[in-house]
Structure 1
Amino acid sequence: MSATYVRAEVASFAAAPVLGVAAAVAAVLTVFSGRYGFHRDELYFLVAGDHLAWGYVDQPPLTPLAARLSTAVFGDTPSGLRVVATLACAATVVVVAAIARELGGGRAAQVLAAACTAVSGFVLAVGHLVSTATFDMLAWVVVCWLLLRLLRTGDRRLWLAVGAALGVGMQNKYLVALLAFALLAALLATGPRDVLRGRWPLAGAAVALAVALPNLWWQAAHGWPQLTVAGGISADDGTENRILFVPQQIVFLSPVFVPVWIAGGLRLWRDPALRWARAFAPAYLILAVVVVASGGKPYYCLPLLLVLLAAGCVTAASRPRAMWPAVAVTAVVSALISLPVLPPGEVGVVNAVNKEQGEQIGWPELAVAVDQAWSGVPAADRPRAVIFAQNYGEAGALAYHGAIRGLPAPYSAHMGFADWGPPPDSATGPVLLVRQVGADPVERHFTGCEGAGHVNNGRDIDNEEQDAVIVLCTGPKEPWSQLWPSLRHYY
Structure 2
Amino acid sequence: MIAPSGPDGAVTDVVPHEVPHEVPHDAAYDWLSTADGAVDVAAVAVEVRDVPVAGPRVRPAWRTAAAVACAVVVLLLALAGRYGYNVDELYFRLLGERGWAWGYTDQPPLVPALVHATTQVLGDSVWAIRVPAALCAGAVVLLGTLIAAELGGSRRAQTLAALGLGSSFLVLSVGHIMVTTTLDLLAWSALLLCVVRALLRGQGRWWVWAGIVLGLALYAKYIVALLPVGLLVGLALVGPRKVFRDRWLYAGIALALVIGAPNLIYQATHDFPQLQMADALGATDGPMNRVIFVPSLVILFGPVPTVVWAAGLVRLLRDPAWRPVRALAPAFGVAVALTIYGGGRPDYVGGFLIALFAAGAVAVDRWLGQRRFRQVLLGGGLAASAVLQLLMALPVLPQNSPFTPLNNISLESVGWPRLADQVRTAYLALPPEQRERAVVLADNLGESGALDRYGHGLPPVYSGHNELHKWGPPPEWADVVVAVGVERPRLAADFRSCTVVGHLDNGVGVENAEQGKPVTVCHGRRAPWARLWPAYHYLSG
- Aligned AA (2:510): I
Query: 1:54-453 alignment to 2 at 5 Å?
Result: 54-318=102-366, 319=368, 320-346=375-401, 349-403=402-456, 406-427=457-478, 429-435=479-485, 441-453=490-502
Change (3 A) 1:99 1:276: same
Code of the residue aligned with 1:205 in structure 2: it is I
Q: 1:203 to 1:116 in 2, by over 3 A?
A: same
CA displacement at 1:366 relative to structure 2: 0.6
Quickly say closer, same or farther: Cα 1:287–1:479, change in 2 above 3 A: same
What is the deviation of 1:272? 0.9
C-alpha displacement of 1:50: 1.1
Give the AA of the match of 1:426. W
1:411 alignment partner, SS class? strand
Q: Secondary structure at the match of 1:344?
A: coil
The 2-side partners of 1:61 and 1:439 are apart by 34
Name the SS for the 2:476 alignment partner: coil
- Contact 2:82 2:395 (8 Å CA) reproduced: yes
Question: Aligned partners of 1:13 and 1:148: how far apart in 2?
Answer: 15
Select the residue among 1, 6, 9 that pairs with 2:56: 9
Per-residue Cα deviation, 1:250-302 (whole angstroms, up to 9, x for no partner) = 22111011221111111111111111011111111121111122211122222
Unaligned stretches of 5+ residues in structure 1: none
SS of match in other structure, 1:49:
helix
Q: Call closer, same or farther: CA 1:439–1:127 in 2, change over 3 Å.
A: farther
Offset of residue 2 of structure 1? 6.3
Whole-angstrom distance in 1 between the partners of 2:470 and 2:399: 34
After the TM superposition, which segments of 4 or more aligned residues of structure 1 sit over 4 Å from their partners? 4-7
CA contact (8 A) 2:54 2:321 kept: no
Q: Which range moves more in the overlay, 260-269 or 314-323?
A: 314-323
Higher deviation after alignment, 15-24 or 301-310: 301-310
What SS class does the counterpart of residue 397 from structure 1 fall into?
A: helix
For 1:449, the aligned partner's letter is: C
Q: CA deviation at 1:409?
A: 3.3
Alpha-carbon shift at residue 211 of structure 1 (Å): 1.5
TM-score by length of 1: 0.95
Answer yes or no: is 1:483 the counterpart of 2:539.
Answer: no
Mapped contact 2:438–2:459 kept (Cα < 8 A): no
Alignment deviations for residues 200-242 of structure 1 (CA, whole Å, 9 cap, x no partner): 2222111111121111111222111111111111111111111
**Distance of 1:440 and 1:226 partners within structure 2:** 29
Question: Are 2:496 and 2:526, in contact at CA under 8 Å, matched by a contact in 1?
Answer: yes
3-state secondary structure, aligned to 1:352: helix
Instruction: Indicate the residue corresponding to 1:463 in structure 2.
Output: 512
1:346-402 alpha-carbon deviations (Å, 9 max, x no partner) = 2xx123322221111011111111011001222223232100101101111101011
Contact 2:405–2:411 (CA under 8 A) maintained in structure 1 = no
Preserved CA contact (<8 Å) 1:446 1:476: yes
What CA distance in whole angstroms lies between the structure 2 residues aligned with 1:439 and 1:138? 43
CA distance in 1 between partners of 2:317 and 2:55 (Å): 17
Partner of 2:47: none
Taking structure 2 as the reference length, what is the TM-score of the superposition? 0.86
CA-based RMSD of the aligned residues comes to 1.7
Change (3 A) 1:206 1:442: farther
Tell me which structure has the larger Cα radius of gyration: 2
CA deviations on 1:84-104 (whole Å, 9 max, x unpaired) are 110111111111001101111
Query: What amino acid is aligned across from residue 328 of structure 1 in structure 2?
Result: A
* Contact residue 230 and residue 335 of structure 2 kept, 8 A: yes
Secondary structure of 1:448's counterpart equals: strand
- What stretches of structure 2 of length at least 5 have no aligned partner? 1-23, 27-49, 369-374
* Percent of aligned positions that are identical: 41
SS of alignment partner, residue 474 of structure 1: strand
Aligned positions, number:
485
* More moved, 14-23 vs 244-253: 244-253
Secondary structure of 2:203's aligned partner = coil
Matched-pair contact (CA < 8 Å) for 1:229–1:490: yes
Amino acid at match of 2:237: A
- Would you say 1:45 and 2:92 are equivalent positions? yes
CA distance in structure 2 between the partners assigned to 1:2 and 1:134 by the alignment? 41
Q: Which amino acid aligns with 1:341?
A: V
- Aligned-partner SS, 2:403: helix
For 2:495 and 2:443, locate their aligned partners in 1 and report how far apart those are by CA, in whole Å: 13
